Amino acid sequence: MPELVVTALLAPSRLSLKLLRAFMWSLVFSAALVAAAVYGCIAFTHVLCRPRRGCCGRPRSAPPACVSDPTLGEHCFLTLKSSGLRLHYVSAGRGNGPLMLFLHGFPENWFSWRYQLWEFQSRFHVVAVDLRGYGPSDAPRDVDCYTMDLLMTDIQDIILGLGYSRCILVAHDWGALIAWNFSIYYPSLVERMVIVSAAPMSVYQDYSIHHIGQFFRSNYVFLFQLPWLPEKLLSMSDFQILKTTLTHRKRGIPHLTPNELEAFLYDFSQPGGLTGPLNYYRNLFRNFPLEPQELATPTLLLWGEEDTYFEQGLVGAISSRFVPGRLEAHILPGVGHWIPQSNPGEMHEYMWAFLQDLLD
C-alpha cells in the first residue's frame, strides 16, 4: 500500500491520540495548580506555627549513626554499564544463596529495608540499592534522565553487575512501579517478585479512571509535576511535610525513632536532594495512555488494608491482569502503606513461605 495512503488512513487515529494527550495534560496541570495551592497553605501553616525553623530546610552535616550499623551490611558502589552512573548499595550475605534485590519508594532510601536485610541475609545475598537520584547515588538533574526505560536499564545493570543472571526482586511504592515494568520487559532476569503497596502503572491508570477517589488519594502526584515549587514546599519548616508523611500517627510509620527519621531526611536535606526523586513523578504521564499488559512473573503481593495512598480495589484489578496461578495476594488487616517498616514480622512470614521451594 502506498505510503501516502497509509499516512492518510492513520491520520484520524494520530489526531485523536494527540487530542487525548492534550486533554490529559490540561487536566494534569489544572490538578497540579490546585494541589500547589493546597500544599502551599499546608507548608506556610507549618512555617507560621514553627517560625524558628524558617522557610528552608536545614542541611544535615552528617548522617545519623544508625545508617552505619555494620549488621545491616557493607556499603558499596557499582558503576552501571549502560549509563556510567555510580549507584550506592548495602550488601550482606554474599555467598549465602540467590540474589535478593530491594527497591525502595519515596520518600525513602535503602535504609527502609533494614529489617529485611537483617532477616534474609542468612539464606540470600541481600542488596538494598539507592536508586538513581537518591542519597550517595549519582543524581542527574535533567527530568529526561528518570524515564521508566532508563530506570529499568539501571536494574538490569545492577543484577548483571553484581554477577547474577536472575534475582528475587522485592519492591515497595515507587520501587514497585519499576519492578512491575521490569518483570514485563526483562522476565528472564526475575525469578520471583515480592511487591508491597503499588500497582502497575497501566492498572493504576485504568482503575483511577473508574474510581475518582483514587485520584484524591494520590493528589501529591499532581503537585510533583511542577518544576522547583514542590522542592520548595517540601523543604519548608525544615521538611515538615516529609516529617509528617513519615511520622503521622495514622498515616506514617509506627514507632519510627528520631534517628531513623533522620536517616531519610539527611539525603533530602543535601543540595538538590529532592530534585532527583521528584523527577520520577515528572515522568509518570509521559507515555499516557498505557496499554493493558499481562503479568506472568510469580509474585507475592502484600497490601495494607488501611493504606492511605492506594485503594484496596487495586488488588482485584491487579489480579485480573495475571496469568492464573502466578499471583499470591494478601491484604493485611489494620496495616497502612509502609509494610516493610511497620509490619516486618508479617511480611517476613509471607516471604519465607513464598520462597521456601527455592531453598529446599
Whether 149 is catalytic is no
Say how far apart CA 356 and CA 360 lie, in whole Å.
6
Q: From the candidates 154, 173, 238, 267, give the one annotated as an active-site residue.
A: 173
Transcribe 2-46 into DSSP letters.
-HHHHHHHHHHHHHHHHHHHHHHHHHHHHHHHHHHHHHHHHHHHH
List the beta strands (DSSP E) in 130-218: 167-172, 190-196
Give the three-class secondary structure for 84.
Answer: coil
Cell readout for 341 is: 517498616
Whether 154 is catalytic is no
Residues 6+ apart with CB under 8 A from 230: 39, 223, 224, 274, 278
Q: From the candidates 39, 207, 281, 309, give the one annotated as an active-site residue.
A: 281
Say how far apart CA 77 and CA 359 lie, in whole Å.
28
CB contact at 8 A, 93 and 121: yes
CB contact at 8 A, 280 and 107: no
Whether 173 is catalytic is yes
> What residues are annotated to the active site?
173, 281, 337
